[in-house]
Every structure is written in structure tokens, then in C-alpha cells.
Structure 1
């Protein structure tokens, strides 16, 4: 089974340090779409953000664990277009 198939809707996403990064809306292609409430601040508020599946280290008991710490992972989030999010 692929790692993408193990990722379920509303699963918590945590960094390698165990800090909350977001909540899964769904997997779209090679990215995880986050729910809108995990969308950051300012003009990013209310937009869906995406995390590349390549950052997923494991899915443990329904929780998606990333290979990067949360502070690094949020800098790698993308807009729907694939553009990086300016922090």
C-alpha cells in the first residue's frame, strides 16, 4: 500500500518534532491538501495550502508524521497553483 493510501481525511499532520502542522483535507496527486483553518495568516487566511507527499516520513496510528520539523515544514507549504507560500 502506498503512503498516500494510508492518509485519511481529518488526520493530524505533525512535524518530526511532534508539533502540529495541519489537518488533512484530502490527498490530491502528489500533495496533501490542508483544511482551510490550517491556512496561515494574513492574505493566506482561508486558502487551502498543500504539503508535498515527499515530506511524509510515516503514518502512525492515523497521524501523518513528516520528515521535517514543523517550523521547516510550514515554510515548504504551497498554494494550490504550486507556488511557494511567502512567510
Structure 2
């Protein structure tokens, strides 16, 4: 797992396949919180989604690259309450 303390707000989160997953809102513990605008439609709207830090392969100034392809990584996303 990469050092999550190097992850900067507004960095792009990219799957191993190069597909954009979201934008970093912040880091909470060992999870990356994505911005609400990346939360999707319907029942997913208005919620922050969280990506487990164990999926992070590398971190550079503006990009967080995951070790899983985007379609797999989103199946590991966790949803945060809408009031957060």
C-alpha cells in the first residue's frame, strides 16, 4: 500500500486500466473520500464514496493510481451517510 499521507485534495483517482474513478475530497483513516460530484445518480447521489487505501498502488502530485481496474475498484467502494 502506498503512503496515503501523500494524497492531495483534488487529485484524480485512476484505475489500473487508466479509467478515471473520481476526485479526492480527502483521506479518512485508511480510506480515500471522493467528492460528492463523483457519487452518481439516484440513490447514490449526495453521498461521499470511499475507496480502501489498500487499493492504492502509487501516489504522485495530482494522481492516485489504483492497483485494480476501475470497474473492479468501484465494487469495493463504500458509501458514507448523506449528512457527512
TM-score, normalised with respect to structure 1: 0.85
Higher relative contact order at CA 8 Å, sep ≥6: structure 1 or structure 2? 2
CA RMSD of aligned residues (A): 1.3
* 1:13 CA drift (Å): 0.2
**Dislocated runs of 4+, deviation >3 Å:** none
Matched residue pairs, number?
80
**Runs of at least 5 residues in structure 1 that lack an aligned partner in the other structure:** 82-87
Q: 2:26 corresponds to which residue?
A: 26
Q: Distance in 1 between matches of 2:18 and 2:60?
A: 12
Normalising by structure 2, report the TM-score: 0.88
**Structure 2: segments with no counterpart, 5+ residues:** none
